[in-house]
Chains A and B, each alone.
Chain A
Amino acid sequence: FYRTRTRTRTQIKPDSVNSVISASAAHLLRLHQRFQFLDKDSRGSLRSEDLEAALSENPIGVRIVGAFFQQETVDFPSFVRILAHFRPTEKNRTRDGVQPDPAVGRKCPSSVAFQLYDQDRDGKISRTELLQVLREMLGLQVTEEQLQSIAERAIQEADLDRDDAICFDEFRKSLEKVNIDHKLSVRFLE
């Protein structure tokens, strides 16, 4: 189990984490160092503010933190687990569609992406929500009118049942050409 650590030393048991995710001890150690670095107050767990601080330059950093790290505080095993979502898939592990591992609490990446937009969790991406995301990503370079046009058009393209919002199925359908597995791969934990 993960013991609360003292200020200078940490004791982690790789086994507890390893049982869920196979990764080398060196990698885990590096991740743990990173975890400690992010945890500015040395409380042993990360709050969303710590993570957001790490993503200060990212235009949608707050959303990403909100979508991925949904617990109030994130302890180290959860940290590793969440990051492990992004490992390149191998043949025996597919990421999208197949039963998510309940122990790990994995969700398919499209639903996580969906949650990025859908902040109020009503199951639909409304125009205002899309507009907000667009504004965050493009706000400096594109005028407000253009943003609205883009949002309008994006919804027109994806919205099949004409309810002026994009539900999860429509979202997934519009992304069926994008190979999400390949896109969301970061190399680590190997």
Chain B
Amino acid sequence: MAEQWRSALLLCLLMAASSLASTGTTAPASTGNDTEHGTGTINTLPIVTWKWHHVEVPYLVALWVMVCWLCKLVIEANHKITNYIPESALLICFGFILGGIVWGADKVQTFKLTPTVFFFYLLPPIMLDTGYSMPNKLFFTNLGAILIHAVIGTVWNAATLGLSLWGCHQGGAMGNIEIGLLQYLLYGSLMAAVDPVAVIAVFEQVHVNEVLFILVFGESLLNDGVTVVLFNVFDAFVSLGGGAIDAKEIIKGIVSFFVVAFGGSLLGFVFGLLMSLLSRCTKNVQIIEPGFIFVLGYLSYLTAEMLSLSSILSVVFCGICCQKYMNSNMNENSIQTVRYAMKVFANGSETMIFVFLGISAIDKAIWVWNTGFILLTLLFILIYRFIGVFILTWMLNRYRLVPISFVDQIIMGYGGLRGAVAYGLAVNLNESKIKEKNLMVCTTLLVVYFTVILQGVTMKPLVQWLKVKRAEIAEITLIEKVQNKVFDHMLIAIEDISGQIGDNYMRNKNFEEKWMSRLLLKPSARKQQDHLYNVFHQLNLQDAMEYVKEGERRGSLEFIRNESAFVDFKKKLGEDYEEAMPDIMADMANDQGGPSNDPVSTCRRDVLPTVSLEMHEQNMRGLREAEGINAHHLLDQHLYKGRKQHRYRYSRSHLDINQDENEVQEIFQRTMRSRLESFKSGKMGVAPPKTITKHTKREPQTKRLCTFSSCPLKTPLCFSDFEFSEGDSASGYDTSFPTRVTYRAGAGIENPVNPVAPSERAQVRTPGYLHRLSSLRTNARSGETAQDRDLPTPPPHRDDDHL
């Protein structure tokens, strides 16, 4: 219920916003304007004036953007519906509603998706995003198939559509419209292209296997080269008139295809290389490093447009080329920023495109209906798409290592969606030369709606019905990665032995390693390049995060298996320091499920402060590493539970998150204070250690303590920098303390006793620590006091664990 009310409220907001927009555009005259323009006379000082024209254009732009994104919000609020209807279809429907509102307000459609806005502002971010996140290896492996489909397939579509329509026109199926052969061919060329935006939007929800996806998607990207050429060629032919076309012009047309396509791609590569070179030098401006991609990407798009080359190809290849180098050269935060910002822009643009496509439909001027034309167009598009795909894949399968199955071919054919690019080109038609422009625009829109809405809705059931092989969302294990690498080497070896130069030779990348990497990668990045190591590292990070999450979920991080230690923590913090850490208390209270409450409460009563003292003594006794972990984990808990907000020092160039020394120090002080109190209550008579002042010395080191998720990838989680300042002054830490901790997912918690320590580096630290804790537990239960205890256990365990 609440969901529906919320949606309704948003809809009302949308309507209000858009009617405001429309009244804004159609309300030129108001008294405020006179005073604001200054041309009128004013009699007295106006306190506040209504300055609509002052802000009109940017205001409308921002308002429309917001309205489109609100539509997306409403759709995502009812997320389940996107399982049946793809989001793009819903956005188009929203566009219809909005268009209806605007039209209702103005009686004429004042807002349209103009080609300028579309081609210059909405399309480039999407294309840059696709290029940047393109799976390169997959793309280039299937490049042959993709190119064949893109080039030959599109030409086939254009030719057959144009000729068939013309044939039907001659046959009288379309009534009286004035379209000549050339115009039909022009129309065919603009309808032929599969649209990348629509393909992403529909296939995104279907998750077909990656080869199929890359074939359709790659085709939709690369066919822009052909579309642009065909459109321009036929446009020029239409302008020239039928008589001026001779062999020379046709040859020029073919040549222009090569120039446009290859020129565009080459330009993209050049910009990509430029970008990579630039990223090599941006070490000192890391805060604006992410911006360079966007600017240079956009420049590559515009440069290609300027030179009348294929701009989509240019920006896509720019992204493809620079991916690898950017990701190696930039620092981790910049990489994340780029990734997210690209997605924001791409998704935002896509949303706007579909909404505007919907709005553009509600325009009486273009409602020209011609049954024959429209229906035949739809029919031919489908038929010729399927025929083209089947013929081409039959040819390709004879040469492919892994043939494309029949089911995949059907999906490829069905996935030939038309979209906004076709519409943009249609609106660009010259009205004076092409009298039936409105009919064409209308038909284009109808075809777009048909493919996006109908084919989009039925795509998922079709995929399920045909049992198309879906994408595997499996995690890659390290063994698989290693084995893949071994296979690659094997194949190269076989090719070497048999004297064959095949695909794998190129992938051997000697050239790339020698020349390009040397030029384009930072020296530090070049050393750390290995893919296998990166996978390993990512897996470790994932494990670490899961480990922490799991620990959080169960209430605390390492005290989970050890009630006394748990109590210690609770005792220290819960009873005495509620005011100091209310949020922690609240969290702790919330996290305690039923069963764990009882041991806690009973232990609370029973266990003496000596337990905590024991722990402290132990901890003080020279188990510096344990200290490190203990404190680190405590701080982790604090950092996770109490300190969820980020604090930024106000500075334009430094953006530190949770690495604030003050914050860390504060937490440390808290911990120290609590321990201090528990010492006192234990009546040990130990002089209160000088905790607080000592921390000032720790500053440069404590800043190393960052949470797993915010820690820059390549810096080690430094336990060794941590010192516990109770007791002695800080003597040096054991620097051989491992600098990287690998957490076995889950195993760390389950195997507290781990006597086997095969390699000191890979040894899981936490189980060792837990092992010590469990020994503590047994000691505590036997009721010894701290004074009586001799603690023999730590050193042997320590030896065990640390080598």
- A and B: partners? yes
Interface centre among A86, A133, A154 (most CB of B within 10 A): A154
Instruction: Tell me if A123 is interfacial: C-beta within 8 Å of chain B.
Output: no
Partner of B497, one of A55, A145, A156: A55
Closest B residue to A116 using CB positions: B486
Q: Chain A residues near B499 (CB, 8 Å)?
A: 30-31, 33-34, 37
B493/A58 in contact, CB under 8 A: yes
Partner of A133, one of B472, B482, B494, B500: B482
Instruction: Say yes or no: A141-B758 contact (C-beta < 8 A), given A134-B482, A186-B495.
Output: no
Interface of A, helix, strand, loop or mixed by DSSP = helix
A146/B536 in contact, CB under 8 A: yes
Instruction: Tell me if A108 is interfacial: C-beta within 8 Å of chain B.
Output: no
Q: Tell me how many residue pairs across A and B have CB atoms closer than 8 Å.
A: 145
Q: How far is the CB of A163 from chain B (nearest CB, A)?
A: 12
A150 to B759, CA, bound (A): 11
- Contact string against A for B residues 535-572, beta-carbon threshold 8 Å, 1 for contact and 0 otherwise: 01001100000000000000000000000000000000
- Contact string against A for B residues 742-762, beta-carbon threshold 8 Å, 1 for contact and 0 otherwise: 101001000000000011011
Interface residues of A in 106-162 (CB under 8 A from B): 113, 116, 127, 130, 133-134, 137-138, 141-142, 145-146, 148-150, 152-154, 156-158
Q: Chain A residues near B497 (CB, 8 Å)?
A: 34, 38, 51, 54-55, 83
Q: How far is the CB of B427 from chain A (nearest CB, A)?
A: 45
B761/A149 in contact, CB under 8 A: yes
A59/B487 in contact, CB under 8 A: no
Instruction: Say yes or no: A59-B489 contact (C-beta < 8 A), given A152-B742, A178-B480.
Output: yes
A141/B479 in contact, CB under 8 A: no
Partner of B761, one of A88, A145, A154: A145
A175/B483 in contact, CB under 8 A: yes
Task: Report the interface size for chain B: residues with CB under 8 A from the other chain.
Answer: 45
Partner of B485, one of A34, A130, A137: A137
Partner of A141, one of B493, B528, B747, B762: B528
Instruction: Tell me if A61 is interfacial: C-beta within 8 Å of chain B.
Output: yes
Interface residues of B in 504-534 (CB under 8 A from A): 504, 527-530, 532-533
Interface residues of A in 43-98 (CB under 8 A from B): 51, 54-55, 58-61, 64-65, 83, 86, 88
A157/B530 in contact, CB under 8 A: no
Instruction: Say yes or no: A150-B536 contact (C-beta < 8 A), given A60-B486, A183-B487, A186-B500.
Output: yes
Instruction: Tell me if A3 is interfacial: C-beta within 8 Å of chain B.
Output: no
B487/A113 in contact, CB under 8 A: yes
Q: Chain A residues near B474 (CB, 8 Å)?
A: 177
B498/A34 in contact, CB under 8 A: yes
Instruction: Tell me if B477 is interfacial: C-beta within 8 Å of chain A.
Output: yes
Instruction: Say yes or no: A141-B402 contact (C-beta < 8 A), given A175-B483, A183-B487, A186-B491.
Output: no
A65 to B536, CA, bound (A): 28
Instruction: Say yes or no: A58-B487 contact (C-beta < 8 A), given A88-B401, A148-B759, A150-B533.
Output: no
Interface centre among A30, A86, A152, A171 (most CB of B within 10 A): A152
Q: How far is the CB of B780 from chain A (nearest CB, A)?
A: 32
- Contact string against B for A residues 156-190, beta-carbon threshold 8 Å, 1 for contact and 0 otherwise: 11100000101000010011011010111111100
Q: Chain A residues near B744 (CB, 8 Å)?
A: 156
Instruction: Say yes or no: A157-B500 contact (C-beta < 8 A), given A55-B493, A61-B493.
Output: no
The 6 A-B residue pairs with the shortest CB-CB distance in the complex, in nearest-first order: A152-B762, A34-B499, A141-B530, A154-B478, A145-B761, A158-B479
Pick 30 A–B contacts, CB within 8 A, sort by A: A51-B497, A58-B496, A59-B489, A60-B490, A61-B493, A64-B489, A64-B490, A113-B486, A133-B482, A137-B482, A138-B530, A138-B533, A141-B533, A142-B530, A150-B482, A150-B532, A152-B762, A153-B478, A153-B536, A153-B540, A154-B478, A158-B479, A180-B487, A184-B490, A185-B401, A185-B402, A186-B494, A186-B495, A187-B500, A187-B502
Instruction: For the A-B complex with A141-B530, A178-B484 known, give 16 more contacts whose Cβ atoms are closer than 8 Å.
Output: A58-B496, A60-B493, A88-B402, A116-B486, A137-B489, A142-B530, A148-B761, A148-B762, A149-B761, A149-B762, A150-B536, A154-B478, A156-B744, A156-B747, A175-B480, A187-B502
Q: Show the binding face of B for A, using Cβ within 8 Å.
A: 401-402, 472, 474, 477-480, 482-487, 489-500, 502, 504, 527-530, 532-533, 536, 539-540, 740, 742, 744, 747, 758-759, 761-762
